[in-house]
Amino acid sequence: MKRKHLNLIWASALAATLAAPAAGPAAAPPAAADPYQPLAFLIGHCWKGTFAGDARATDEHCFSRIYGGRFVRDEHVVHRDGRPDAFGESIYLWNSAARQLEYLYLESAGGFLRGTVTVEDGALVFPAAEFIEKGESTSLRSRWQRAGDDAYDVVTEFQVKDRWVPGFSLHMQRERSSPT
């Protein structure tokens, strides 16, 4: 008797599913908010800044959506007078299980960093994370504060023992549209 009852329930559910398209289009579920909204002002543009205290060193970042908009790429290059350029790339991703924006940063010298991104008072905040290179790790954190529509300020700190010390800072200015 139970098996017959379950078969009737299954058959009813199947019939309802098959009949649904004939009844007209179903309402689409509401569009999910864009998890990359905090990065929206960066995407599609290249930004360039000079390191505070070293006018001969610049950093340029170009942001674009990749893989059908499912991720955001930030390709960057540091130009230093008299030294080879240093390259890096961050991939921003929405971790739907943890419901948070995360990133993976890779750089041309072989180092990498993974962490999260939050928003505080309109700034992008990169909480403390471990940068790993050549068997060593360094804890760092950063804050990117918008400075109008065409600029943002970067402040990065490093942890030394039990305190945070200034690392580097830049004022990034929008230069052009991103090539990708």
What sign does the dihedral 42-46-52-57 (CA atoms) show? positive
pLDDT band at 71 (very low <50, low <70, confident <90, very high): very high
For the cut 60, the answer to whether the pLDDT of residue 147 exceeds it is yes
Q: Which helix (H) or strand (E) holds 71?
A: strand 71-80
What sign does the dihedral 18-19-22-26 (CA atoms) show? negative
Give the tokens for residue 119. 């928003």
101-146: per-residue pLDDT in tens?
Answer: 999 999 999 999 999 999 999 999 999 999 999 999 999 999 999 9
pTM: 0.80
pLDDT band at 30 (very low <50, low <70, confident <90, very high): very low
> What CA–CA distance (Å, rounded) separates 49 from 174?
9
- The residue with greater pLDDT, 66 or 22, is 66
How high is the pLDDT of residue 32?
A: 58
- The residue with greater pLDDT, 20 or 149, is 149
For the cut 70, the answer to whether the pLDDT of residue 19 exceeds it is no
> What CA–CA distance (Å, rounded) separates 91 from 103?
5
For the cut 80, the answer to whether the pLDDT of residue 44 exceeds it is yes
- Widest CA span in the chain: 84
CATH for the 37-177 domain, from 2.40.128.20, 3.10.129.10, 3.30.70.20, 1.10.357.10: 2.40.128.20
- The residue with greater pLDDT, 25 or 18, is 25
Buried b (16+ CB within 10 A) or exposed e, 105-126: bebeeebebebebeeeeebbbb
For the cut 70, the answer to whether the pLDDT of residue 11 exceeds it is no
Classify residue 39 by burial, with Cβ atoms within 10 Å: 0-12, 13-18, 19+: buried
For the cut 60, the answer to whether the pLDDT of residue 3 exceeds it is no
Segment 164-168 mean pLDDT: 96
Q: How far apart are the first and last CA of the chain?
A: 63
